[in-house]
Amino acid sequence: MSEDVKKGLLGIVVDETTISQVMPDINSLTYRGYAVQDLCEKCSFEEVAYLILNKELPNKSQLKKFKKELDVNRSITINLREIVKHMPKRAHPMDVARTVVSVMGLEDKDTSNNSPQANMRKAIRIFAKTPTAMAAFFRTRKGKKVIPPKKGLGFSENFFYMCFGKLPNKEIIKAFDISLILYAEHSFNVSTFTARTITSSLSDIHSAITGAIGSLKGPLHGGANEEVMNMMNKIKKPENAFTWINNALDKKEVVMGFGHRVYKKGDSRVPTMEKYFKKISKIKNDKKFNKIYDIVKKVMMDKKDIHPNVDYPTGPMYHLMGFDTDFFTPIFVLSRITGWSAHIMEQHAANKLIRPLSKYSGEKHRKVMLLNQR
Ligand code: ACO
């Protein structure tokens, strides 16, 4: 590969952003200048969502207004509910998420309006409605009745309520909220860059988020949280973990939930997420996943010096909370809609068509032979 080809855009700075900053050398991640760990300690997910979208943390009355806006916008149309009900039960929920955002684009009265005001209205609608549509699929594919959103419940509470018909204890809601805060935004990762690339042709927010969901689905990105769970299920019990992970490394397999393009000395989100995974493991009296988690992590660090990324603790935590494995990445979507939306608005505000170059390495100037001569 010639040196002037920057495969994977490795190390290339393509634009400026004021939304988040990843500082791998000091294991730091900030949203609008606030450290995520600090936000996790002091804020709810709604406050952080407001911050990402509006550039500042809300005061009490701004938060009240924002929560009311979410409440008002949570319901989905009968049309969308029917579409979700008729989706194949075996469909992957990420494909469902991609499709429901696309359908919302067909239904939204502002679809072709890319003004900042319309984009904010649409961002709030997508953010509020996607959990309702996904919870509907969570239930209908199991043959259960759809549960509509309940006014007055927070973002995380509502999602649990719509999926399970009841609320878990406050510690579970808190841990889920923390995972949403940590998943909300992460600079120019592949799905965000996809959203910005789509936006750069002056396309609309529904198209950009639909594309971003397709990008997040891959196991090298958001799909890793699902793959972590599949790996733990293959390992089956803690006694198998040491041999299993050593065999995988000997076979040069990629171990999901480990490694990162930017963080090489550890993912800044992991210590907080790991703390909450451990709490949930204790609450759920889990003897298995907690131990497998520790053994696999130790071998990866000792043998390869490769650190876990945020998908490693969220995988088993969502499982212990009762979510189906293929719903883990859609949960990531519910949160990342905030980051994507902020990036889409930032791109619209100072747009330049994203159009890199490629180095041609195919056949040189060939003459076309007529069909009967080939
Ligand atoms: N398991 C085993 N080996 C790994 C892993 C891993 N998870 N990650 C990196 N390595 C090894 C590579 O094999 C490579 O080794 P080599 O130099 O001997 O060939 C070396 O570490 C460098 O890895 P690259 O893949 O070149 O690093 P890159 O920055 O391109 O990849 C990536 C980052 C794609 C995330 C990679 O670490 C990976 O595939 N991880 C597993 C998938 C995953 O967990 N993704 C979630 C990312 S976080 C998120 O999206 C929220």
What is d(CA 119, CA 221) in angstroms, rounded to the nearest whole number?
26
Task: Return the number of other C-beta atoms located less than 10 Å from residue 370's C-beta.
Answer: 6
Q: Does ligand 1 come within 6 angstroms of the Cβ of 134?
A: no
Give the residue whose CA is nearest to atom 4 of ligand 1: 254
Mean pLDDT for the chain?
A: 96
Are 238 and 246 in contact by the 8 Å Cβ rule? The answer is no
Question: What pLDDT does 175 receive?
Answer: 98
User: Which of these, 205, 229, 63, lies nearest to 126 by C-alpha position?
Assistant: 205
For the cut 80, the answer to whether the pLDDT of residue 168 exceeds it is: yes
Assign 327 a pLDDT band (cuts: 50, 70, 90). very high
Residue 280 has pLDDT above 90, yes or no: yes
d(CA 259, CA 355): 28
Label residues 133-168 b or e (16+ Cβ within 10 Å = b). bbbbbbbbbeeeebbebeeebbbbbbbbbbbbeeeb
Is 259 near ligand 1, meaning CB less than 6 Å away?
Answer: yes
Round to whole Å and give the CA distance between 56 and 232.
39
Q: What mean pLDDT is predicted for residues 129-140?
A: 98
- Testing ligand 1's pocket by substitution, the residue of 254, 311, 329 carrying the most ligand atoms inside 8 A of its CB is 254
**Protein residue with least CA distance to atom 13, ligand 1:** 254
Residue recorded with tokens 């100037």: 365
Looking at residue 292, what is its pLDDT? 98
Q: Residue 1's pLDDT is what?
A: 76
Catalytic site residue 326?
A: no
Distance CA 132, CA 142 (A): 16
DSSP 11: T
Residue 220, ligand 1, Cβ within 6 A: yes
| Of the candidates 213, 231, 215, 221, the residue with the CA atom closest to the CA atom of residue 315 | 231
CA nearest ligand 1 atom 32, residue:
260
Closest atom of ligand 1 relative to the 258 alpha carbon: 7
CA–CA gap between residue 350 and residue 336 (Å, rounded): 21
Q: What was the pLDDT predicted at 164?
A: 98
Distance from C-alpha of 131 to C-alpha of 200, rounded to nearest angstrom = 27
Q: Does the pLDDT value for residue 203 go beyond 90?
A: yes
Q: Which two tokens stand for residue 74?
A: 């949570």
Centre a 10 Å sphere on the Cβ of residue 130 and count the other Cβ atoms it contains. 22
Domains of the chain (ranges; CATH) run 8-222+332-349 (1.10.580.10), 224-321 (1.10.230.10)
Nearest residue (by CA) to ligand 1, atom 9, is 259
DSSP codes joined into one string, 90-156: TS-HHHHHHHHHHHHHHH-TTTT--SHHHHHHHHHHHHHHHHHHHHHHHHHTTTPPP----TT--HH
Look up 343 and say whether it is catalytic: no
86 in active site: no
